[in-house]
Each structure stands twice: as structure tokens, then as C-alpha cells.
Amino acid sequence: MPRKEKAVLVTGGAGYIGSHTVRQLVEHHRDCGVVVLDTLERGHAESILDPEVKLFTGDMADQEVVEEVFTTFQIEAVIHFAAYTYVGESVTEPLKYYRNNTAAPLTILEAMQRHGCKQFIFSSTAATYGNPVATPITEEHPQQPINPYGASKLMLEQIIRDCESAWGLRAVFLRYFNASGCAPDAAIGEDHDPETHLIPLILMAISGERENITVFGENYETPDGTCVRDYIHVLDLANAHLKALDYLDKGGATVACNLGTGKGVSVREMLAIAEAVTGTKVPVVYGERRPGDPAELVADPARAKAILGWEAEYTDVTEIVATAWKWMTGPAKGRYTNVKR
């Protein structure tokens, strides 16, 4: 029987963070192929630029397609992005989140166990911490999610730990803070429908795609009254996955790492930064707080540096916003569709 090609499986590889990671894997992880499994329900086939990347259009809960992936390729490691990510939707439709974010990946884990694949990199989230009791947030901070999105991710962390005890799975939980920005060449980027994230919404208000941006609350206990977040560039996030692969390759044990810059930026500061980048005033409306929004979420990223040798390179938010603006005003965004290939 011919030897199977070695590959890394990326679930959700046609999504925002997934597609940037796939691009880096192709560039820097040359001894292994890259296989993407994505439903294309919320991802974009156009965001996978390299024709060498094999795209399986299908659901990770579907045992047939997952088995096809694992029998066609020798999957060395899984990088798992595929998930629903709207906090608000998770509150109104919790079962959708528990099914897709917690239950569906079991099919992947079962295939990994059957095929002896023991390396897993998981897109976890700062939302697993809930309302911070201390800041900056370390990985030891209590995990008490305040919405089903965070809970659905935390449950998968627990499931993975149980698999570690039972059959030796090793994982890196990458707890993302606020993913932002785009590839600096603007060839791929962020395209959510509906869009709920601050930076794209501000830029859409600037470009006229939206009438204005509503600031959710200006009476928080923060220096300027608006919420503070830790915005981390998507290329930095992508790079952390490559470092996590190396860590697991060298035999590293299961670990959780925060991915952030360690620097907080308020909504008001972000408005000023976007105005400076674009040279245009943002039409702003001040509104009520959004339920479930903690005042401040800032990472302590020290462990990622110590264990993975990872550190954010985009530490200037102005540069992050500039990459997002370049994408939004460039030609590639218009080519994104939801047509399955």
C-alpha cells in the first residue's frame, strides 16, 4: 500500500483565524501537508489561497467525512478552529453552541484516538474566564464563563484533559483575547456576517457601509468609562499555532496559554486610532452596555512566551487597525462569497 501523505488537519481553516494560520503553515511548516475541513457555512473557500491545500467541505460531526480525511492522509496533528463564535447568539441559542463547539469535535477526537494521532491545538478563548477577578488575566485565573459560548469552549478543554488521562492526547489550549487585523498584503481578511466586532464595525462606519458605530456603555469603571480589551493581531495568533505544533512535536504536555499583547485599549481610544489611520471622523452614538461585557479583559501573556517562545509582534494597535483598513478598502474582500467549492 502506498504510504499516506503526512498532514496537519485544520478544522475551520476557511475562517478568519484559520485561513491566516493555514497560510503560515504552508509557508513555514514545509515537511507536512495541510488539510482543511470546513463546512463553509461561515468560512470562505476563497480564503485558502494555496491550491496545494486540500479542502474537505464537510462537517466535523460527520463521521464519514472525518474518516475519509484520516484514511486519505496520515494526520500528525489537528488544529481545531471550527466553532460558532457569536456570544449573543450563544445566549439565545445555547444548544446550537453546545452541539457545534462541544459535541461535534468529539467526532474528530474519536478519529484521532482510532488513528493514533495525539496532538491537538485548540482555539480556546478569554471568554472561558468570565468576569475577571484580577487583571491582567493569567491562565490560573478562575474559569467561570458567563455565556454559553465560553462554557462550550471550557467544556471541550475538560474533555481534552480527560482524553489526555485516558489515551495520551496532548493539547495546547490557546486562549485568544480580541483577534483583530488582517494579512498586511490584504489578500485575506475578516468577513463575518453579521459583523459584531469593534474594529471592523468602526471601519464600516467610516467607509459609509454603516451609518454609525454604537459605543456600548460609557460608564464603566475604566479610565475613560469605556470597555478595555487586549487586541491581538491575527498573524500573531496564527504564529502561536505553529509554535504550539513545535512544542507538541517536542513532547510537550497539555498546557493552556493566553494569547494577547498584555496591553489594554479602550473603545474610545480605538475610535481615535481609527480616525488617525483613516483620516476620517467616525460617526459615533453612545448606547447602553451590552449584556455580558466585562469592563476590562487584558491578558498576561507571560506563559506563552516562557513555554512556546511566542510573543506578539504587533504591539502597536495603530498598525493592527491599518491592516484591517487596507483589507476593507482593498479588492480581495469583494471576492469573498459563501459559495461552496
Looking at the Cβ atoms of 105 and 217, the one nearer to ligand UDP is 217
Query: What is the smallest separation between the CB atom of 332 and ligand UDP, expressed in angstroms?
Result: 22
Question: What is the C-alpha separation between 199 and 181, in angstroms, rounded?
Answer: 8
Question: What is the C-alpha separation between 19 and 15, in angstroms, rounded?
Answer: 6
Query: What is the smallest separation between the CB atom of 237 and ligand UDP, expressed in angstroms?
Result: 13
Count of residues interacting with ligand UDP (CB under 6 A): 15
When binding is defined by CB under 6 A, the residue of 54, 99, 115, 290 that contacts ligand UDP is: 290
Residue corresponding to grid cell 447568539:
89
210 binds ligand UDP (CB under 6 A): no
In the bound state, the residue with its beta carbon closest to ligand UDP is 227
Query: What is the smallest separation between the CB atom of 215 and ligand UDP, expressed in angstroms?
Result: 4
When binding is defined by CB under 6 A, the residue of 74, 214, 280, 315 that contacts ligand UDP is: 214
* Contact pattern for ligand UDP over residues 87 through 126, marking x by CB under 6 A: x---------------------------------------
What the block records as the C-alpha cell of 63 is 463521521
Residues 128-187 binding ligand UDP (CB under 6 A) are: 178
The answer to whether 172 touches 122, Cβ cutoff 8 Å, is yes
66 binds ligand UDP (CB under 6 A): no
Query: What is the smallest separation between the CB atom of 286 and ligand UDP, expressed in angstroms?
Result: 9
Question: What is the C-alpha separation between 259 and 231, in angstroms, rounded?
Answer: 10
When binding is defined by CB under 6 A, the residue of 83, 163, 227, 332 that contacts ligand UDP is: 227
Phi, psi of 36 (to 5 degrees): -110, 135
Stretch that binds ligand UDP, among 1-9, 13-21, 68-76, 211-219 (CB under 6 A): 211-219
86 binds ligand UDP (CB under 6 A): no
Question: What is the C-alpha separation between 78 and 72, in angstroms, rounded?
Answer: 15
Q: Which of 55, 35, 28, 30 is nearest to 44 (CA)?
A: 55
Query: What is the smallest separation between the CB atom of 195 and ligand UDP, expressed in angstroms?
Result: 9
DSSP, collapsed to helix, strand or coil, labels residue 202 as helix
The answer to whether 307 touches 257, Cβ cutoff 8 Å, is yes
Tell me which amino acid residue 169 is.
L
Residues 257-286 binding ligand UDP (CB under 6 A) are: 267
What the block records as the C-alpha cell of 280 is 476620517
The answer to whether 20 touches 88, Cβ cutoff 8 Å, is no
Q: What is the DSSP string of 160-172?
A: HHHHHHHH--EEE
Query: What is the smallest separation between the CB atom of 146 and ligand UDP, expressed in angstroms?
Result: 12
Q: Which of 76, 54, 20 is nearest to 233 (CA)?
A: 20
69 binds ligand UDP (CB under 6 A): no
16 is catalytic: no
Q: Which of 84, 97, 129, 149 is catalytic?
A: 149
The answer to whether 50 touches 27, Cβ cutoff 8 Å, is no
229 binds ligand UDP (CB under 6 A): yes
Looking at the Cβ atoms of 146 and 159, the one nearer to ligand UDP is 146
The answer to whether 136 touches 126, Cβ cutoff 8 Å, is no
Q: Taking the CB of residue 133, how many other CB atoms lie within 10 A of it?
A: 10
Which residues are catalytically annotated?
A: 149
Residues within the interface to ligand UDP (CB under 6 A): 87, 178, 196-198, 201, 213-216, 227, 229, 267, 290, 293
